[in-house]
Amino acid sequence: MEMVGDGIGAASGEIWKRQRKFTLTTFRNLGVRQASFESMIITECHEIIKEITHNANDTFSPKMIFPKATANVMCSFVFGRRYNYTDEEFQFLVKSIDRIEQSRNGIGTLPIFKYLPTRGKLQLRKDLTALSQFIDNIIEEHKNTFDPENPQDYIDIFIKEIQSSGDGLLTNRNLRGTVTLLLFAGVNSTSKQLRRAIYCMLRYPDVQMTVQAELDKVIGRERMPIMSDKESFPFTMATLLEIQRFGSTARFGPLHLASCDVELCGYRIPKGSLLMPNLWAVHHDPKIWSDPEEFKPERFIARDGKVTRPAELIPFSIGRRTCPGESMAKIRVFIFFTHLLHRFTFIYPEGAEPLPCVDGAKPIPDFLATAIPRS
Return d(Cα 247, Cα 38) in angstroms, integer: 25
Region for residue 7 given its phi and psi (left: phi exceeds 0; alpha: psi -120 to 50; beta: otherwise): left
What DSSP line would sit under 348-375, residue for residue? PPTTSPPPP---TTPPPPP--EEEEEP-
Q: In the prediction, which pLDDT does 8 show?
A: 80
Q: In the prediction, which pLDDT does 118 show?
A: 63
Whether 133 shows a pLDDT value over 50: the answer reads yes
Locate all alpha helices (DSSP H) within the chain, ordered by sequence: 13-29, 35-54, 62-79, 88-107, 121-145, 154-165, 172-203, 205-219, 234-247, 279-283, 326-343
| Amino acid at residue number 363 | P
Candidate ranges 8-12, 41-45, 270-274, 315-319; pick with highest mean pLDDT: 41-45
What DSSP line would sit under 295-349, residue for residue? --GGGGB-TTS-B---TT--TT-SSTTS-TTHHHHHHHHHHHHHHHHHHEEEEPP
Q: Is 232 exposed, middle or buried (0-12, 13-18, 19+ CB in 10 A)?
A: middle
Rounded to whole angstroms, what are the CA distances from 130 to 11, 96, 139, 154, 176? 22, 8, 14, 21, 13
| Amino acid at residue number 306 | K
Whether 3 shows a pLDDT value over 50: the answer reads no
Q: In the prediction, which pLDDT does 111 show?
A: 62
Q: In the prediction, which pLDDT does 113 show?
A: 65
Rounded to the nearest 5°, which phi and psi values hold at 252?
Answer: -125, 150
Q: In the prediction, which pLDDT does 54 show?
A: 84
| Amino acid at residue number 124 | L
Whether 275 shows a pLDDT value over 80: the answer reads yes
Whether 169 shows a pLDDT value over 70: the answer reads yes
Whether 140 shows a pLDDT value over 50: the answer reads yes
**Helices 154-165 + 62-79 axis angle, to 10:** 40
Q: How does residue 156 score in pLDDT terms, banded at 50, 70 and 90?
A: very high
Q: In the prediction, which pLDDT does 226 show?
A: 95
Size (the chain), residues = 375
pLDDT of 82-127, one tens digit each? 999 999 999 999 999 888 887 766 555 556 666 766 666 777 788 8
Return d(Cα 299, Cα 294) in angstroms, integer: 10
Q: In the prediction, which pLDDT does 321 show?
A: 82
Q: In 10 A of CB 275, how many CB atoms?
A: 14
The b/e string for 109-139 (b: 16+ C-beta within 10 A; e otherwise) is eeeeeeeeeeebeeebeebbebbbebbeebb
Is-contact 221 77, C-beta < 8 A? no
Q: In 10 A of CB 17, how many CB atoms?
A: 14
Residues 298, 299, 302, 307, CA torsion sign: negative
Q: In the prediction, which pLDDT does 1 show?
A: 31
Q: Which of 177, 150, 126 is nearest to 16 (CA)?
A: 177
Q: Which of 180, 186, 196 is nearest to 40 (CA)?
A: 186
Q: In the prediction, which pLDDT does 105 show?
A: 62
**Sequence-separated (6 or more) residues with CB below 8 Å from residue 131:** 93, 96, 97, 100, 180, 183, 184
Whether 367 shows a pLDDT value over 80: the answer reads yes
Q: In the prediction, which pLDDT does 106 show?
A: 56
What is the reported pTM?
A: 0.91
Q: Give the pairing type, strands 369-373 and 59-60.
A: antiparallel
pLDDT of 12-61, one tens digit each? 788 888 989 999 999 988 888 788 889 999 999 999 999 898 876 788 99
CATH of domain 13-373: 1.10.630.10
Region for residue 297 given its phi and psi (left: phi exceeds 0; alpha: psi -120 to 50; beta: otherwise): alpha
Q: Is 3 exposed, middle or buried (0-12, 13-18, 19+ CB in 10 A)?
A: middle
